[in-house]
Amino acid sequence: LRTMAKSKFEYVRNFEVDDTCLRNCWIVVRLDGRNFHKFAEQHSFTKPNDDRALNLMTRCAQAVMEELEDIVIAYGQSDEYSFVFQKKSNWFKRRASKFMTHVASQFASSYVFYWKDYFQDQTLLYPPGFDGRVILYPSNQNLRDYLSWRQADCHINNLFNTVFWNLVQKGGLTTSQAEEKLRGTLSGDKNEILFSEFNINYNNEPLIHRKGTALVWKKIDEITTKTIKLPNEDKEKEIVVTRTRKKVTPLHCDLIGEEFWEEHCEILED
Nearest residue to ligand ATP on Cβ basis: 37
Nearest distance, CB of residue 42 and ligand ATP, angstroms? 11
Residue 49 or 89: which CB sits closer to ligand ATP? 49
For Mg ion, which is the closer residue by CB, 25 or 68? 68
Residues that bind Mg ion (CB under 5 A): 32-33, 36, 78-80
With CB cut-offs between 5 and 8 Å by kind, which of Mg ion, ligand ATP, none does residue 77 bind? none
141 binds, among ligand ATP, Mg ion, none (CB under 5 to 8 A by kind): none
Q: Between residues 33 and 132, which has the closer beta carbon with respect to ligand ATP?
A: 33
Q: Are 248 and 72 in contact (CB under 8 A)?
A: no
Of 78 and 86, the one with the shorter C-beta distance to ligand ATP is 78
Q: Least distance to ligand ATP from the beta carbon of 113, Å?
A: 18
Closest to Mg ion by CB, 33 vs 48, is: 33
Q: How far is the CB of 95 from ligand ATP (least distance, A)?
A: 12
Partner that binds at residue 260, options Mg ion, ligand ATP, none, CB closer than 5 to 8 Å by kind: none
- CB of residue 108 to Mg ion, shortest distance in Å: 13
Residue 247 binds what, of Mg ion, ligand ATP, none (CB under 5 to 8 Å, by partner type)?
Answer: none
DSSP secondary structure string for all residues of the chain = -PPPPP-TTGGGGGGSPP-BPPTTSEEEEEEEETTHHHHHHHTT--SS--HHHHHHHHHHHHHHHHHSS-EEEEEEETTEEEEEE-TT--GGGGBHHHHHHHHHHHHHHHHHHHHHHHHTTSPP-S---EEEEEEEE-SHHHHHHHHHHHHHHHHHHHHHHHHHHHHHHTT---HHHHHHHHTT--HHHHHHHHHHHH---GGGS-HHHHH-EEEEEEEEEEEEEEEEE-TT-SSEEEEEEEEEEEEEEEE----SSSHHHHHTGGGT--
Q: How many CA atoms lie within 13 A of 115 on its CB side?
A: 14
Q: Which is nearer to Mg ion, 133 or 219 (CB)?
A: 133
Q: Shortest approach of ligand ATP to residue 180 CB, angstroms?
A: 19
Q: How far is the CB of 34 from ligand ATP (least distance, A)?
A: 4
